[in-house]
Structure 1
Amino acid sequence: MNPFVFACITPHGGEIIPELSGDKPERMKLTRDSMVKLGKKMNSANPDTIIVLTPHGTRIDGQFSISGSERMYGSFDENDTYYEMERMVDRELALEITKAAKESGLAAGSINYATSTGPLSCLPLDWGAIVPLAFMPEVPVVVITPSREVALEDHYKFGEVLREVVQNSSKNIGLIASCDWAHAHDEKGPYGYDPAAAMLDEEVVGLFRSNELEKMAEFDPEYVDAAKPDGIWQTMILAGAIPKEKRNIHLYSYEVPTYFGLICAEVGSADE
């Protein structure tokens, strides 16, 4: 079974948050509307904790980075507006995940800052977590940042570890894989234009529709580098956490309002 009370794949473009949309609120409206729906679903599931998989958190080269601080705080500036967020960390769950990952032979570390406990024990909350969490219930989190130096097969294995830990927990736990897709859709964007961007995003949408997330591990590394997605690694963790025979993917939306692709999807149980 799917051990998570609710799971989803979300993007993290800043303008998705209404307060950061500036004078172009229509630009990411399709995605924003999908995020509102996902947030309502997560809220109805009543999670005690939400695990967030983000590519932009505190990184450890060659290891999975797992938040172990007392709390996390972050802010985001866009379109001359400002958004900030603080969340408490479910340290008990974070340490259980770290312990289980290490026992499985995976390189993983639980990270902290300043003091072991108390108000100074605070890590940065990145936009990859802030954006989806802005639509979710305000509950404790565990923020996990993968490493691209780690093989995709180990990302899948890390997902299997997450599944085992969550299955053995008495808590209701939600899961967010925070993923933007190809970043080379627009020659005026920071990464320029490459035809691989549209090709990769089309393939990814197809894999969502066919429930074959694992096939992203077969993408040629040069193809991935040309398209510049940042969602494959988190998606592989989710695929391990909710394997194909246990999941049902509902694709809410896909759009490319600027230079990078945005996908919103619910990942439910296969019997739903």
Structure 2
Amino acid sequence: MASSSVVFACITPHGLPILRELAGDAPNLMARTRESLEQLGMEMRTVEADVILVITPHGLRAEHQFTVAASSYMEGGLSELTVAQMVGESRPDLGRRVHMRRAVDQRFAKAIGEAGRAAGIPVAVINFATQAGVFSTLPLDWGSLIPLSFMPDIPIVVINSARSRPYHEHIQLGEQIAQTAASMGRRIAIIASCDWSHTHDHRGPYGWHADAAVLDEAAVACVSRGDLEELMQISEETIEHAKPDGIWQALILAGAVPPNERRPQLLSYERPTYFGMMCARLR
């Protein structure tokens, strides 16, 4: 099934200090990644998509299910204090914040859920408080908010990957997303929000392991070739040691953009702290 409805597709990271407002006293820490995201944002604006679909590992979770946020709105905020808490620091004096509220393409979100379930994929369609309107607002996680900060302000749909589900279901869900978009006439831009290995630094919250470099090298090679399916060959042992959170979102993107339609362009890879970050355009 061709994914002509997918007019843009990229892999981005979601480390909080990517945003200048959350970079504290190290504004250049993730400057290379920030520049790459700025470039992706400019490029996404040129394709005039109708909706941005974000695939995140940090959003609404349902045991053994994918989730699709189908509220009228999503809203979230982050602060320098959030950054400090993530690395175990106690810094109550940190006060700079970012905030985002985005409209959701509810009809498209619900249709993805229906298509996924019809294909035998466990998908939970999630809402909050009311069916529609201003009170129908779900939280916007940092895996979505960070990359969206660089992208055009158009309606969104946020999907949470399901690490407990088999790889082939992630690919199948991506296929259903592209088919649903095509049937509805939606021009969609896809963001697979992926940080990679989290064990690059013994001072980080997950410690250090040599497999972090091994996994990230393999991931960069796979993405550079556009061979996202090869990520499925990384061993469970390596994954356990390296602690990535990018494989599953990348496989949903792989289903939405078939290999013959990928035009891979690696913009950057860096790991200035304990986790790896990659920016790449696939379509």
Match of 1:240 in 2: 255
The one-letter code matched in structure 2 to 1:164 is Q
In the aligned structure 2, how far is the partner of 1:41 from the partner of 1:236? Answer: 22
1:109 Cα shift?
1.2
Q: Does 1:34 align with 2:36?
A: yes
Q: Offset of 1:2 from its aligned partner? A: 4.0
After the TM superposition, which of the residue ranges 178-187 and 1-10 deviates more from structure 2? 1-10
Q: CA deviation at 1:256?
A: 0.4
Which contiguous aligned blocks of 4+ residues in structure 1 show a shift greater than 6 angstroms? none
Determine if the alignment matches structure 1 residue 169 to structure 2 residue 188.
no
Aligned length: 268
1:107 matched residue in structure 2 = 122
User: In 2, distance between residues paired with 1:178 and 1:92?
Assistant: 23
Cα distance in 2 between the residues matched to 1:169 and 1:186: 46
Q: Quick check: 45-54 or 77-86, which moved more?
A: 77-86
Match for 2:238 among 200, 223, 226? 223
- Out of 193, 217, 224, the residue aligned to residue 178 of structure 1 is 193
Compare 105-114 and 18-27 and name the one that shifted more. 18-27
Contact 1:178 1:231 in 2 (8 A): yes
Paired residue secondary structure (1:75): strand
1:186-245 C-alpha deviation (Å, 9 max, x unpaired): 000000000000110001111112221101112111210110000000000001111212
1:78 Cα offset (Å): 2.0
C-alpha displacement of 1:55: 0.2
1:104-141 CA distance string (max 9 Å, x none): 01100110111111211110000000000000001110
- Which of 221, 225, 228 aligns to 1:213? It is 228
Matches of 2:63 and 2:216, distance apart in 1? 27
Give 1:43 deviation, angstroms.
1.0
Match of 1:155 in 2: 170
CA contact (8 A) 1:2 1:247 kept: no
- Identity, in percent, stands at 44
Q: How does 1:84-123 map to 2 (within 5 A)?
A: 84-123=99-138
Identify the range of structure 1 (232-241 vs 212-221) with the bigger mean alpha-carbon deviation: 212-221
The worse-fitting range, judged by mean Cα deviation, of 257-266 and 209-218 is 209-218
Return the alpha-carbon distance in structure 1 between the equivalents of residues 141 and 128 of structure 2.
15
Partner residue in 1 for 2:203: 188
Confirm or deny: 8 A CA contact 2:3 2:179 kept in the other structure.
no
Question: Which residue of structure 1 aligns with residue 89 of structure 2?
Answer: none
Match of 2:212 in 1: 197
Aligned residue number for residue 66 of structure 2: 64
Determine the C-alpha separation between the residues in 1 that align with 2:186 and 2:229.
27
Matched with 2:85 is none
- 1:73 aligned to 72, 75, 96, which one? 75
CA distance in 1, matches of 2:71, 2:192: 20
- Aligned partner of 2:88 in structure 1 is none
Q: What amino acid maps onto 2:261 in structure 1?
A: K
Instruction: Point out where structure 1 has 5 or more consecutive residues left out of the alignment.
Output: none
TM norm structure 1: 0.96
2:16/2:142 contact within 8 Å kept: yes
- The answer as to 2:129 corresponding to 1:127 is no
| Equivalent position to 1:22, from 13, 18, 24 | 24
Measured in 2, the distance between the counterparts of 1:25 and 1:161 equals 40
Q: Distance in 2 between matches of 1:91 and 1:227?
A: 36
Question: Taking structure 2 as the reference length, what is the TM-score of the superposition?
Answer: 0.93
